[in-house]
Amino acid sequence: MVDCWWGLVESEKPQGFRWSGYKHLFSLVKEAGLKLQVVMSFHECGGNVGDDVNISLPRWILEIGKNNPDIFFTDKEGRRNSECLSWGVDKERIFFGRTGLELYFDYMRSFRQEFNSFFEDDTIVEIEVGLGPCGELRYPSYPERHGWKYPGIGEFQCYDKYFQKNLRNAAEIRGHSEWGVAPDGTGEYNSKPQDTDFFRDGGDWDSYYGRFFLRWYAQQLIDHGDRVLSLANLAFEGTQISAKISGIHWWYKTASHAAELTAGFNNSCHRDGYAAIAHMFKKHNTAFNFTCVELRTMEQAKEFPEAMADPEGLVWQVLNSAWDEGILVASENALPCYDRDGYNKILENSKPRKDPDGHHLAAFTYLRLSPTLMEENNFKEFTRFVKRLHGEAVGDLQV
């Protein structure tokens, strides 16, 4: 798995694509007899869990952002997040005559042309399309750069002028122009649901207005994915496409599922927020890549009892929403994993026992290759895990 960073390839000027470094890397991978899953990374690297390098968006994009900061996701305090472009600019022709969608398409089309031989000989077997921060289809609702700490509920990210205009229009169409504003009483990044008027049990999230706003907010996420995946299939016709959904497992045991709501997943105690996303993925024949399959609810309860987290419940819900649509489901670990308990949880989720339909993961991506993984005992455990993932009977390690 390799990230193809927009901020490296098109850094200096619009459509000034520089692919030479990736050509060299891909040649090495091909010589080693390996396959490539390439990620179209339209987000910045740095400032998130596991990031040890900084790669910004293209410099000329950041220059446009100085004069028009509304191209970035914005919170209610007016703080901008330059991790990726706001979905509000998808159809805005403000990038030297191009729209946000055209930026993504031109990049993908250039990649497909430059690396044609790697597609033809099946070295590149899959393209994962970045759809938001960390390459995930979600809002950047819990940014550490703005002071967020686990298990804060996060904040809505719909305060740039393009989103605000869209919300006002949606409210007028609905016949309630007074609903054309984001909700009050939502707390701050590190609030708990019960401390807010909006997310507490019986709060405004379940009012007529609350349901309207959350439906609109989540629909922007689905519409963005729909548009970009449509263009990805055009650029990469005949190649498997995938996209990533993040596992927001904290506050899952509460009625509102606040952290999921701020991230754009309209999932609560009486609404499935993932079925519509899976349905959209099916429309574009896109594999559903989900994170956090290694996390165990009991461990989370011990470490952060106040977080009301349930990663196992979330994984079960999301994987089954995707399987119900009949699409390929893949996964990856959310945090570094070197222990057998974590590996066993991945194996358990990879092929659920007693599933009458025989559902199983189509692929698993391990994050990530590091010196720690290569330590003798860690690598032995990893080797054992890979063999078991492929169905081999493996005895206990002799350490």
- What band does 394 get if pLDDT is binned at 50, 70 and 90? confident
Model pLDDT, residue 24: 98
Q: Is 68 annotated as a binding residue?
A: no
**Helices 275-283 & 208-235, crossing angle to 10 degrees?**
20
136 is catalytic: yes
Q: Is 79 annotated as a binding residue?
A: no
Write down the catalytic residue from 83, 294, 325, 332: 332
* Whether the Cβ atoms of residue 112 and residue 232 lie closer than 8 Å to each other: no
Q: Is 257 annotated as a binding residue?
A: no
Evaluate the omega torsion of the peptide bond into residue 336 and state whether it is cis, within 30 degrees of 0. Answer: no
Spatial distance between the Cα atoms of 139 and 51, rounded to a whole number of angstroms? 19
User: What value, to the nearest 5°, has the Cα angle with vertex 169 and ends 167 and 174?
Assistant: 95
- Residue closest to 23 by CA, chosen among 134, 124, 135: 124
Q: Counting every residue, how long is the chain?
A: 399
Strand segments (E) across 199-238: none
pTM of the complete model: 0.94
Q: How would you class 382 by CB atoms within 10 Å of its CB: exposed for 0-12, middle for 13-18, buried for 19 or more? A: middle
Q: Is 330 annotated as a binding residue?
A: no
Write down the catalytic residue from 136, 260, 294, 312: 136
Question: What residue type is 43 in one-letter code?
Answer: H
Query: For 99-128, how does the pLDDT look when each residue is reduced to its tens digit (9 = 90+)?
Result: 999 999 999 999 999 999 999 999 999 999
- Residue closest to 332 by CA, chosen among 268, 389, 396, 391: 389
Query: For 305-352, how does the pLDDT look when each residue is reduced to its tens digit (9 = 90+)?
Result: 999 999 999 999 999 999 999 999 999 888 889 999 989 988 988 888
Tokens representing 237? 């016709």
